[in-house]
Amino acid sequence: MTTILVTGGAGFIGSHTVIELVKAGYEPIIFDNFSNAKPAVLARIHKICGKRVPCCFGDIRVRQQLETVFKENKIDGVIHFAGLKAVGESVKKPLEYYDNNVNGSRVLLEVMRDYKCSNFIFSSSATVYGEPDKVPLTEDSPVKRANSPYGQTKIDIEYMAEELQRAIPEFSVTLLRYFNPVGAHESGLIGEDPRGIPNNLMPYLTQVAVGKLPILNIFGNDYPTKDGTCIRDYIHVVDLALGHVAAIKHCLNQGGVHIYNLGTGIGYSVLDMVNAFSKAIGRELPHQFAPRRAGDVVQCYADPSKAARELNWKAVRTLEDMTRDSYNWQKNNPNGYDD
């Protein structure tokens, strides 16, 4: 059996990945401080995959809490999701982001090194590319100084892991750069449950659709794109989760550094998303144009061919799947896991 520690495994992408790990025959162990997740997700995971997934409450910054897990289990690899991820919040609280994300990752890598666990798969982000010079983005596109502390922590953690691998050649580092994760498990039992008012487009759309929010503000319609709104590569969270399973299958114990863009390769504008969502709910979703949001890039979408070639992985779920599953989750859980 291959045991995989999933830090932040109770979160949105983490919980979906845990389910796909179980389905693929791996033994995941969740490690989470529940600062941005609800314990109710554990029962939902159990219901979906038919088994209880062990969960250790803990904070990656607290070495002793991590060591307990490594002492009590033979951990073959770690998928590292745990971290703060709100772009706007990171601008207001840069030190908290450096402490949680970079310092926490440092402690995790130290414990992995000391317990000879040499497979590190990191939840990185397309945000490391900053404002792209050209699209689609490949893994060789330049990594730029990020336009938020959140994005910079992703760059710093990538660099820290690469340097550790350089120091310990048998260490295997896989950096998965996500584009825009959306959607939910088809059961409607797990999904995105942001704290407070959502920053991201899709959870905002779903909350407007269920009447929790009155109207969507579209941040800018004067960008140099087909309809003036920003373009992103939205990827279904289940496709993303399967990308992690593919990465484990192909990278475990291989040594070296492996970098993959996990996106669909298709760019959709904000208006495309609003129209797709209106179609999914069978009525016009209330929306209005508002000023641009600081820090937004005009367009960002992936060239996912390297993951297809090397991981034998490709996103297959469509925009209709993403909108349907996002809405299904929100309809069944108007207050997220608090229901």
Would you name the residues annotated as active-site residues?
A: 150
Q: How many CA atoms lie within 13 A of 266 on its CB side?
A: 13
Stretch that binds ligand WQD, among 30-38, 66-74, 199-207, 307-315 (CB under 6 A): 199-207
Binding of residue 200 to ligand WQD (CB under 6 A): yes
- How far apart CA 176 and CA 157 sit, in angstroms, is 12
**Nearest approach, Cβ of residue 154 and ligand WQD (Å):** 8
Parallel, antiparallel, or unpaired: how do β-strands 231-232 and 268-269 relate?
antiparallel
Site string for ligand WQD, 17-46 (x = CB under 6 A): ------------------------------
State the burial class of residue 335 (Cβ atoms within 10 Å of its Cβ: 0-12, 13-18, 19+).
exposed
Binding of residue 180 to ligand WQD (CB under 6 A): yes
- How far apart CA 136 and CA 278 sit, in angstroms, is 27
Among 53, 240, 270, 285, binds ligand WQD (CB under 6 A): 270
Q: Which is nearer to ligand WQD, 150 or 171 (CB)?
A: 150
**Nearest approach, Cβ of residue 233 and ligand WQD (Å):** 9
Q: Which is nearer to ligand WQD, 204 or 313 (CB)?
A: 204
- How far apart CA 146 and CA 153 sit, in angstroms, is 9
Binding of residue 277 to ligand WQD (CB under 6 A): no
**Residue least distant from ligand WQD (Cβ):** 230
Q: With CA atoms as reference, report the closest residue to 313 among 198, 178, 188, 185.
A: 178
- How far apart CA 324 and CA 274 sit, in angstroms, is 13
Binding of residue 177 to ligand WQD (CB under 6 A): no
- How far apart CA 35 and CA 42 sit, in angstroms, is 15
Among 199, 225, 305, 332, binds ligand WQD (CB under 6 A): 199
Among 177, 185, 232, 236, binds ligand WQD (CB under 6 A): 232
Binding of residue 230 to ligand WQD (CB under 6 A): yes
Residues 75-94 that bind ligand WQD (CB under 6 A): 85, 87
Which residues lie closer than 8 Å to 301 by C-beta, 6 or more apart? 135, 136, 137, 179, 231, 232, 233, 263, 264, 265, 266, 267
Stretch that binds ligand WQD, among 2-10, 195-203, 278-286, 327-335 (CB under 6 A): 195-203
Q: With CA atoms as reference, report the closest residue to 125 among 86, 93, 164, 92.
A: 86
Binding of residue 157 to ligand WQD (CB under 6 A): no
Q: With CA atoms as reference, report the closest residue to 179 among 8, 297, 321.
A: 297
Among 65, 73, 138, 217, binds ligand WQD (CB under 6 A): 217
Q: Which is nearer to ligand WQD, 21 or 262 (CB)?
A: 262
Stretch that binds ligand WQD, among 103-111, 112-120, 194-202, 250-258 (CB under 6 A): 194-202
Q: With CA atoms as reference, report the closest residue to 312 among 234, 236, 248.
A: 248
Q: Which is nearer to ligand WQD, 81 or 171 (CB)?
A: 81
Measured at the CA of 232, the angle between CA 214 and CA 84, to 5 degrees, comes to 75
DSSP letter for each residue of 245-298: HHHHHHHTT--EEEEEEES-S--EEHHHHHHHHHHHHTSPPPEEEEPPPTT--S
**Nearest approach, Cβ of residue 143 and ligand WQD (Å):** 14
Q: Which is nearer to ligand WQD, 123 or 172 (CB)?
A: 123
Residue 265 and residue 302 in contact, taking contact as beta carbons nearer than 8 Å: yes
Residues near ligand WQD (CB under 6 A) are 85, 87, 125, 127, 180, 199-201, 204, 216-219, 230, 232, 270, 293, 296
